[in-house]
Amino acid sequence: MSDTLSRLAEVLEQRKQAGAESSYVASLHAKGLNKILEKVGEECTETLLAAKDCQHSEDKSELIYETADLWFHSLVMLSHLGLGPDDVLKELERRFDLSGLAEKASRQK
């Protein structure tokens, strides 16, 4: 797993024990899954808008910023449900060398 993702996952695990007043992540856990999902949805929309806005521009910094927000909140969601980035990376690993079209065809049989 990327060092950044594993370091962040470690911090997110530690924040499950932290106080909501001192940690943004702890405050999300305290508010519960619905609040976390609301944030993921919000960040998803902001990412889509940033992608549309920057498609003809050299400057893609807003898209990078919004995607980081989306990845971060998705990691908080996974952590809340007892999962981590390694679970998703393992699934992506499993898909290596499996054509998306072949996979789709196998599901439609």
Ligand X SMILES: N=c1c2ncn([C@@H]3O[C@H](COP(=O)(O)OP(=O)(O)OP(=O)(O)O)[C@@H](O)[C@H]3O)c2ncn1[C@@H]1O[C@H](COP(=O)(O)O)[C@@H](O)[C@H]1O
Query: Using CB under 6 A as the criterion, which residues of the chain lie in contact with ligand X when the complex forms?
Result: 8, 11, 15, 23-26, 69, 72
CB-nearer residue toward ligand X: 41 or 103: 41
Contact status, residue 17 vs residue 25, Cβ threshold 8 Å: no
**Shortest Cβ 33–ligand X spacing (Å):** 14
CB-nearer residue toward ligand X: 22 or 99: 22
**Shortest Cβ 58–ligand X spacing (Å):** 25
**Shortest Cβ 105–ligand X spacing (Å):** 38
* DSSP state at residue 58: S
Contact status, residue 35 vs residue 28, Cβ threshold 8 Å: yes
CB-nearer residue toward ligand X: 60 or 71: 71
CA distances from 36 to 19, 54, 65, 107 (A): 17, 27, 19, 31
What is d(CA 14, CA 32) in angstroms, rounded to the nearest whole number? Answer: 17
